[in-house]
């Protein structure tokens, strides 16, 4: 297998963090003394330093905030990895779409690996990154996503006005995965999916759903149960507890 030594990463960081219910941007909140965003980007830097894979990153931030973020990253150890800071949109799909458009300036090859990784998933580990990078560099894998088998039993339901929430069926848990990020694409497929989604006004909560929508096969790559997304206030305490376990 001939491995590309290049990896592009788009970090969507343009959300408003409504579920965190804090005046502070959740990406600037600290987990064991390090901000969420720093932890996220530093995990990728560590992977790059150890693997020798060259990383170029696009940070997608809230409209009107590019200068602020520029000042924030410029003194960081990872500053040279941030090739571009662009404005996002009012949905995650639009934010990632802007990140994909910004990638064009770097002339990626069709087969180059591009990861989309939520800035809010700050416990991403280098082994999960590595498994995704290896998978997306296989000829037959165009799109893949980090995921874990669900631990809970999931019910399909129907909301009934008179009876309430009613169970329709219980899917086989062995066939259910929770997906995380990285969501990974060969560049040309990512570019096509986001271009078409923009034309069609198609939105999805995750990136690989766009690939499914446009007929591409999506592979699940083993992720980690620790790769949580910082979403609600208790996630900070959960992340700190998980970190104690990971170190
Ligand atoms: N995101 C983004 N642009 C948006 C919405 C989300 O770039 N319009 C980013 C967030 O910054 C985050 C990631 O997508 O890194 C995952 O989104 P989520 O955890 O839902 O964050 P928020 O949308 O900020 O939070 P909430 O849904 O609670 O408002
Ligand atoms: Mg959101």
Residue closest via CA to ligand 1's atom 23 equals 15
pLDDT at 3: 58
The domain in which residue 189 lies consists of: 6-246
Q: What is the largest CA-CA distance in the chain?
A: 60
Q: Of all helices (H) and strands (E), which one includes residue 165?
A: strand 164-169
Structural domain includes residue 196: yes
Ligand 2 mean position, distance from CA 189 (Å): 24
Q: State whether the beta carbon of 60 lies less than 6 angstroms from ligand 1.
A: yes
**Contact (Cβ atoms closer than 8 angstroms) between residue 145 and residue 105:** no
Can you give the C-alpha Rg of the chain in angstroms? Answer: 18
**Cα–Cα distances in Å, from 155 out to 86, 147, 158, 190?**
39, 19, 10, 32
Which protein residue's CA is at the shortest distance from atom 6 of ligand 1?
Answer: 15
For residue 96, the ligand 1 atom closest to its alpha carbon is 7
- What pLDDT is recorded for position 2? 52
Burial class (CB in 10 A: 0-12, 13-18, 19+), 21: exposed
Q: Determine how many CB atoms are found less than 10 A away from the CB of residue 123.
A: 23
74 lies in some domain: yes
Write out the chain's pLDDT in tens, 247 residues.
455 689 999 999 999 999 999 999 999 999 999 999 999 999 999 999 999 999 999 999 999 999 999 999 999 999 999 999 999 999 999 999 999 999 999 999 999 999 999 999 999 999 999 999 999 999 999 999 999 999 999 999 999 999 999 999 999 999 999 999 999 999 999 999 999 999 999 999 899 999 999 999 999 999 999 999 999 999 999 999 999 988 7
In a domain, 1, yes or no: no
231 lines ligand 1 (CB under 6 A): yes
Q: Has residue 65 been placed in a domain? A: yes
How many structural domains comprise the chain? 1
| H-assigned helices in the chain | 36-51, 66-74, 92-103, 126-136, 187-200, 207-213, 234-246
Predicted local distance difference test score (pLDDT) of residue 247: 73
Evaluate whether residue 217 is within a structural domain.
yes
CA distance 170 to 154: 6
Residue 32 CA to ligand 1 center (angstroms) comes to 22
Q: How far is the CA of 14 from the centre of ligand 2 (A)?
A: 9
CATH number of residue 127's parent domain:
3.90.550.10
């Amino acid at each position: 297998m001939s491995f590309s030594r290049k990896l592009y990463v788009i970090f969507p960081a343009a959300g408003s963090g409504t579920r965190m219910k804090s005046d502070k941007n959740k990406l600037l909140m600290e987990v064991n003394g390090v901000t969420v965003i720093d932890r996220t980007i530093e995990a990728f830097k560590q992977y790059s330093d150890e693997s020798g894979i060259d990383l170029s990153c696009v940070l997608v931030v809230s409209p009107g905030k590019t200068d602020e973020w520029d000042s924030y990253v410029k003194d960081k150890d990872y500053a040279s990895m941030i090739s571009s800071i662009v404005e996002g949109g009012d949905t995650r799909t639009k934010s990632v779409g802007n990140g994909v458009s910004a990638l064009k300036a770097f002339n990626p090859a069709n087969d180059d690996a591009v990861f989309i990784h939520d800035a809010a998933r700050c416990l991403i580990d280098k082994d999960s990154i590595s498994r995704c990078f290896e998978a997306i560099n296989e000829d037959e894998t165009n799109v893949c996503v980090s995921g874990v088998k669900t631990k809970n039993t999931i019910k399909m339901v129907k909301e009934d006005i008179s009876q309430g929430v009613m169970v329709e069926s219980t899917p086989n848990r062995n066939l259910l995965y929770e997906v995380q990020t990285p969501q990974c694409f060969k560049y040309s497929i990512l570019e096509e999916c986001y271009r078409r989604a923009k034309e069609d006004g198609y939105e999805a909560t995750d990136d690989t759903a766009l690939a499914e929508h446009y007929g591409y096969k999506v592979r699940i790559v083993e992720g980690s149960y620790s790769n949580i997304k910082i979403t609600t206030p208790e996630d900070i305490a959960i992340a700190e507890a998980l970190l104690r376990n990971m170190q």
